Amino acid sequence: MDVIDESKNKVVSGREERRAQTLPIQSPEERDRLVRAFHPDYKKEEYHTIRTGPNAGERTVREVAELLESDSPVPVDLDLTPQYRVDVLVVGGGGAGATAALTARAQGANVLLVTKLRMGDSNTVMAQGGMQVAITEDDSPVTHFYDTLRGGHHKNDPKLLKVLVDEGPMAAQWLIGLGVLFDRDESGNLKTKKGGGSTKPRLLTCSDYTGLEIMRVLKDEVLNQRIPILEFSPVVELLTDPDGRCSGAVLKNLDNGQFIVVEAKSVILATGGSGRLHIEGFPTSNHFGATGDALALAYRAGGKLAHADTFQYHPTGAVFPEQLAGALVTEGLRSDGGHLVNRNGKRFVNELDTRDVVAAAIIRECAEGRGVKTPAGRVGVWLDVPMIDLLLGEGSLTKRFPAMVRQFERYGIDIRKEPVLIYPTLHYQNGGVSIDADGQSQVRGLFVAGEASGGLHGRNRLMGNSLLDLIVFGKRAGAAAAARAKSGPAGKLTLSHVTRFRKELDKNGIKPKRVAPILLPDYVRREEIAHTS
């Protein structure tokens, strides 16, 4: 019998005993010790100091530092005669972009939505396990606030967090009104379940494709409202007026390589996260376009970043089969009772502790030799999924996790019968472009919503808060951008911030290693880095 089968047998034979076992949530001191020792966010000795721009002097990972010190793909003598003139330019075709576009449109703004890939290609559709909203009788926005603050190591911007929890119920109401089919019980009441780090069940779910269902409805509504969309047209540079206010953007038509100039009274960046930068060499659960575009664009125009050094490694990314490496294995499975089990058949962490703690515990198990090696050389621990049918009754997995069952079934693995191997996967940028409660960055006229923005989640986001974030702050950014558009014409279109930034790079002796936004992951370059380091 090989090592994998031997270990898998230990998982199966230990099931009955584990069933009655409860592992404690760690004390603050224990959590702190664990994350400092094993979470990738704390490998500070490998971090780079940012040498220029609003965050100069702070430290972050190499991949982000290179983005912030990158060169623009746009020549400064580009003809800036606009092909489009709009009130609000929304950049990004995921949940935050769609919500912002719908809200701005509802305020009477003339909106153009542009996106790098197709409408809906985004991390929103990858959020499987739910959206947190305090709606049950024994829950409240205050409890949601404190859970999130504790999860974020008390580094969350309290103003943003208050907005999130207070406006959560309204956001859910809005989605239901548009047609999102959240799960309901036999009496028709909304079902809720508990996510990691939360003291109350407050996740609204659409089985295990919550984000996909939300995006389905938002996309439909954008089409119903006839909001013009340009697909395969990412923003490659912002435009600013002589006072530094954002006045539009330069897009690139990915089909023919031509630049497109858009004049806008306000711009909303909703370009999502940066998992495809593969920070620290991690695989990712993110969609193909998640290359941190907003970070480079906003930074060059003068926007400060918040918590640019912290990333979420979702505890359960698939490590086997190889084709699924990095793919999300939803936290919902742990929420419903799935156990994390090491090579020796033992549990080692409370599965519903915060994600940074659970991820650090898995990394520790593997680093200390209690992981299981896959044939391709990856290492992971078991997620004992069949435990869920044992706890909740036969058929529960099929009913509650159809997407997960199908994802593994395609590769001949029946998760109703066998545990799966998992390891943390790069899932979310905890920080991003700093915003105020209206979603405005430090660059006037430039708004940022969803994962691209920073400050709300502190140093570790709680499960389900991203779907809520993109609705609440998508709406806020859309409304504020539309209001700003009513206050006067767009400014002059210039690339003066690019000239200024290039001078700063030069003055600081920085030769950019990259041209950014990167737009698509450069896997060839990554291979080269791996071979030379």
* Binder of ligand MEZ out of 331, 389, 451, 469 (CB under 6 A): 331
CB of 132 to ligand MEZ, least distance (A): 8
* Residue span binding ligand MEZ (CB under 6 A) among the ranges 46-54, 127-135, 366-374, 392-400: 127-135
Residue whose token pair is 């040498």? 51
Q: Per CB under 6 A, which region of 16-24, 179-187, 459-467, 495-503 contacts ligand MEZ?
A: 459-467
| Position among 115, 240, 266, 330 found at the interface with ligand MEZ (CB under 6 A) | 330
Least distance (Å) from ligand MEZ to the CB of residue 196? 9
CB 475 within 8 A of CB 100: yes
Residue 361: name the closest of 340, 337, 377 by CA: 340
- In the complex with ligand MEZ, the residue whose CB is nearer, 211 or 371, is 211
Tokens found for residue 394: 């036969």
Backbone angles phi, psi at 51, to 5 degrees: -100, -10
Cβ-based neighbours of 59, under 8 Å, separated by 6 or more: 44, 47, 48, 49, 50, 309
Shortest approach of ligand MEZ to residue 83 CB, angstroms? 37
The span from the CA of 426 to the CA of 65, in Å, is 17
Position 332 contacts ligand MEZ (CB under 6 A): yes
463 binds ligand MEZ (CB under 6 A): yes
By beta-carbon proximity to ligand MEZ, the closer residue of 130 and 152 is: 130
Where do we find the tokens 């449109």? Answer: 105
> Catalytic one among 245, 278, 334, 497?
334
For ligand MEZ, the binding residue among 50, 88, 127, 204 (CB under 6 A) is: 127
CA distance linking residue 295 with residue 504, whole number of Å: 17
Sole window of 54-62, 149-157, 327-335, 517-525 interacting with ligand MEZ (rule: CB under 6 A)? 327-335
Rounded alpha-carbon distances, angstroms, from residue 209 to 42, 288, 400: 32, 18, 10
Which 291-310 residues touch ligand MEZ, going by CB under 6 A?
A: none
Can you list the alpha helix ranges (DSSP code H) found in 368-508?
Answer: 387-392, 396-400, 402-409, 465-486, 496-507
We find the least distance from the C-beta atom of residue 317 to ligand MEZ, in angstroms, to be 10
Q: Which of 94, 129, 234, 424 binds ligand MEZ (CB under 6 A)?
A: 129
What is the amino acid identity at position 48? H
Q: Does 130 bind ligand MEZ (CB under 6 A)?
A: yes
CB of 37 to ligand MEZ, least distance (A): 24
List, in order, residues 6 or more apart from 533 with CB less than 8 Å away.
none
Annotated active-site residue 314? The verdict is yes
DSSP for residue 91: E
Stretch that binds ligand MEZ, among 162-170, 329-337, 432-440, 515-523 (CB under 6 A): 329-337
CB of 147 to ligand MEZ, least distance (A): 14
Output the smallest distance, CB 407 to ligand MEZ, in A. Answer: 12
Site membership for ligand MEZ, residue 214 (CB under 6 A): no
Q: What is the DSSP string of 37-104?
A: HH-GGG-GGG-EE--SSTTTT-EE-HHHHHHHTPBPSS-TT-----SEEEEEEEE-SSHHHHHHHHHH
Interface with ligand MEZ, residue 123, by CB under 6 A: no
**By CB under 6 A, is residue 286 in contact with ligand MEZ?**
no
Which CB sits closer to ligand MEZ, 335 or 434?
335
For 286, what's the count of Cα atoms within 13 Å in the CB-facing half-sphere?
28
CB of 127 to ligand MEZ, least distance (A): 4
Smallest distance, ligand MEZ to C-beta of residue 175, A: 15
Binding segment for ligand MEZ (CB under 6 A), chosen from 219-227, 238-246, 395-403, 463-471, is 463-471
Tell which one of 172, 446, 466, 476 touches ligand MEZ (CB under 6 A).
466
DSSP 328: B
Which one of 60, 128, 350, 430 is in contact with ligand MEZ (CB under 6 A)?
128
> What is d(CA 456, CA 469) in angstroms, rounded to the nearest whole number?
8
Task: Name the one range near ligand MEZ by CB under 6 A: 149-157, 325-333, 369-377, 397-405.
Answer: 325-333
**Is-catalytic flag, 19?**
no
Q: Where are the alpha helices (DSSP H) in 108-193?
A: 141-151, 158-178
Rounded to a whole number of angstroms, the CA Rg of the chain reads: 23
Please pick, from the candidates 464, 478, 517, 521, the single residue that binds ligand MEZ as defined by CB under 6 A.
464
Work out how close the CB of 226 gets to ligand MEZ at its nearest, in angstroms, rounded to a whole number. 31
Q: How many residues bind ligand MEZ (CB under 6 A)?
A: 11
Please, what sign has the CA dihedral across residues 202, 203, 206, 208? negative
Amino acid identity of residue 116, one-letter, is K
From the list 300, 314, 343, 461, the catalytic residue is 314
Q: Could you give the CA distance from residue 109 to residue 87 in angstroms, rounded to a whole number?
A: 6
357, with CB counted inside 10 A (0-12, 13-18, 19+), is: buried
Between 95 and 130, name the residue whose CB sits nearer to ligand MEZ: 130
Comparing CB distances to ligand MEZ, the nearer of 227 and 349 is 349
- For 339-393, the DSSP string reads EEE-TTS---S-TTS-HHHHHHHHHHHHHTT-SEE-TTS-EEEEEETTHHHHHH-
Where does this chain touch ligand MEZ (CB under 6 A) — which range of 71-79, 113-121, 461-469, 491-499?
Answer: 461-469
From residue 217, alpha-carbon distances to 75, 157, 164, 211 in Å are 39, 30, 21, 10
Residue at shortest CB range from ligand MEZ: 129
Active-site positions read 314, 334
- Residues lying near ligand MEZ in the complex (CB under 6 A) are found at 127-130, 328, 330-332, 463-464, 466
